[in-house]
Amino acid sequence: MESFFTTLKTESFYQEGALSVAELAAVTDDYIHYYNHERISLNLKKPNPVGCRTRLKQTI
C-alpha cells in the first residue's frame, strides 16, 4: 500500500499543484481507474491488475 500511495502522490498530486477537495477526489478516482485498468505492471509480467485477475480466473 505504501508503494501505491507513493506512486499516486508522485504521478498525480505533485504534477497537479494545489487542488480543491473535489478536484483531489476526481484526480484520485481517475488515477485508481488508470492503475487498475491501463497501467502495465512489471511484477505481474505485463498485464494490469484487472487483466491479471481475469487471466487467473480463466485458469481456475
Query: For 9-48, what is each residue's pLDDT tens digit?
Result: 887 777 667 778 888 889 889 988 888 777 776 665 677 7
Q: What is the number of other CB atoms lying within 10 angstroms of the CB of residue 30?
A: 11
Residue type, 3: S
Distance CA 31, CA 4 (A): 11
Judge contact between 46 and 38, C-beta under 8 A: no
pLDDT of residue 41: 65
pLDDT of residue 15: 67
pLDDT of residue 2: 80
Checking if the pLDDT of 55 tops 60, the result is yes
Burial (CB count within 10 angstroms: exposed 0-12, middle 13-18, buried 19+), residue 52: middle
Query: Cα 51–53–5 angle (5° rounding)?
Result: 80
Q: Break the chain into its structural domains and give their ranges.
A: 2-59
